[in-house]
Structure 1
């Protein structure tokens, strides 16, 4: 804890005084003052753990704050501050915090940030590795651990916490009425998007990511690219975005977007258009399930039996027969130059006693 530094400093002063052979009465008095001072610091000062989370919807923040409160009951010398962060804003906020010397102690973020943060020297890889070791390597899937290895040091850069798979959610009842096959391939997805597109009646075929400032757009585009053999890299690891496969994918994605709502769209629009019956298909993670079921008071479902009439297709088959999907691994990162010991304890608590609450924070 922070006050340990004060103890070390005072011990050095005491050693100096003894070496100078000061009177015992004076030394004793100073010792008593030191003990009293340390007691005050120990009583008054708490270690503060700033926990940034990209699970920033109110209901999920409430769960995370409850977990933090339970943790603080067991660790009265530690105060946990839960700070919600919009996922697209995370890189900017981290850069700003780094410049100000105020990085969070712990942060919840997706796998796509792990390597970059590790290369930039922001993550305390030793702390993450220690947390994983304390919880036991067997507590984690090997594949998840392999994904969070630091490209710099080879040890774990962050702690895996959960994950999800994205796909197309679609109106089974409407598809049945038109005799359409489930949207599992480029052809069936485009065919359905055309069939349902009727903007004059406020009906759209599909909602995909078209907002360039949102991670959602990359998440939706990626499985289309992979299902066409377009990875964005050549055999030597160079970035290439003009291959025939990538150009074909971009052309297809542009055509598909034309059958969606106007303007830049991301997951907010996808959810809204779908639950009010103005979209036949949308991309989303399983976190949409409670919204579709009408369990979230803030989002009013106007389609009768929407949950019953909704299907889910997590895999896309491309024109060459390649199957692809999009999955996300979520991690907890411990940052450098923070209260490492307290951060490790909090991470272990979240994945220990608090883990069931994390898993049930939202369906999916």
Structure 2
């Protein structure tokens, strides 16, 4: 939604698709669409209810729209849910992504930007996480599908000369965010007077990245397709497939925060204490995420502008307004 608004703001024509599934509150998804509909350039936006796993529908969409660029942010998200419902991750994140790649191949798309994830780093202990780090050991199926997306994109860049950019997002948060993310879950529970689950006794760190900073990086990559470069892992240069228009970039805040400190900042903004239930580390979770953003900075000058205090405040203001909570 935020990226669509930024593109419309500058006059781009945007086609948005979503299957509007019930993984979380469908009303929130419709409300996001309503926000887009209120934009002064709404005439430049077209929405279709399509599942990227629907091969025929995606083929027809590419044939009809003649895209200049494709941005694929569609995926079945969530680390813990991938343990409960693995097939939905294969349907959306593997089969669906293949349909996008095939559309790009068939219609000679000039640029593909897609969502990867910081989860590909698995239980890496070296910080900050760099694009040059080994990511061969994912610890959730969700992470495995995102690593697979990067490999699939490289293949299509190599075989068909399609510029592809994978963005490894680091814990995106902000207004209109997903209800299964920590900030949303904690805010709702605290305001409802319910306890919050704090995993690994709070001994975790996350590189929370505000949505506006994420959009800045996405827009840059839309406007600047990947250029032919050697394979992205210097430790395994693979000279026979070098000079491929492929890149994978971290996009994060470069400033991780301890989970208990994060909760404290939410409490301060809500003027309310949380009832914490300390829990063990969950399967698939990692202890820390920390983005090395040097590559994106060198390319674009990218530098996150929103610190965690401002970001949490803006989210809670949105939350209170959206759900009609005045105190």
Normalising by structure 2, what TM-score?
A: 0.27
Structure with more contact order per residue of length (Cα contacts < 8 Å, sep ≥ 6): 1
Normalising by structure 1, what TM-score?
A: 0.25
